[in-house]
Structure 1
């Protein structure tokens, strides 16, 4: 039996600013945006051309979820965006206003730089060695 992670929930303050960031600044595709109730939507985004895990953008509901925004990994890098062209993606993301927390660095496993989304989540943009 084959299994895979279909989606990871990312708690955000509101749907539309999150959709805008992920589609306009990171270049993700909006896979689905379905209204479920007056206040809830099912919003999936994914890296363009990616066939892997999607992000479920979930609007925070209540104090506990509000407090979790940007802190889902306790201050650590939470998500890893792999690329086959680090330099092109880095330049594109910088020009779109993505906030990088460091300059790109070369490690034994590849080229990487940490960036932060507008909600406080830390990400690695990474091109693994050999890709």
Structure 2
């Protein structure tokens, strides 16, 4: 039997807005977009890593109660969640490409720890580090 992480989920305030951001601006691809009643299972993946999905989920019942869902929305919007990391070959080139696509960066590329990194947030407030792979 094989085990491993197939989906890592993040909470988003608006799944359509998140879909536009991750597919339209970052170049991810849709893996699954399915609804069951009021629940939508939406996952995307990086084109070079189709085996790992990023779940773009709404905090909502039955997973959490409505008060908890509102609290999660507020925490995510403030950028209080740990950043996700996107590894790229050339951080400065990726920064230019994403900026041209409309991604707003909170930190321009800087040299640090023998690499280059930059920071941005998705429309829901989730933080991302864009890190250049070390050779």
State the TM-score, normalized to the length of structure 2: 0.82
Aligned residues: 129
3-state SS of 2:108 partner: coil
Higher alpha-carbon deviation: 11-20 or 62-71: 62-71
Quote the offset at 1:94 in angstroms: 0.6
Equivalent residue, structure 2, for 1:47:
46
Matches of 1:115 and 1:77, distance apart in 2: 12
Quote the offset at 1:112 in angstroms: 0.5
Quote the offset at 1:83 in angstroms: 1.1
1:28 maps to 2:28 = yes
In 1, are the aligned partners of 2:22 and 2:28 still within 8 Å (CA)? yes
Q: How does 1:32-111 map to 2 (within 5 A)?
A: 32-37=32-37, 39-61=38-60, 62-69=66-73, 71=75, 75=80, 77-111=82-116
Quote the offset at 1:32 in angstroms: 1.0
Q: Residues 50 and 21 from structure 1, CA distance in 2 versus in 1: closer, same or farther, beyond 3 angstroms?
A: same
Identify unmatched segments of 5+ residues in structure 2.
Answer: 61-65
In 2, are the aligned partners of 1:70 and 1:120 still within 8 Å (CA)? no
1:123 maps to 2:128 = yes
Aligned CA RMSD, in angstroms, stands at 2.2
Identify unmatched segments of 5+ residues in structure 1.
Answer: none
State the TM-score, normalized to the length of structure 1: 0.85
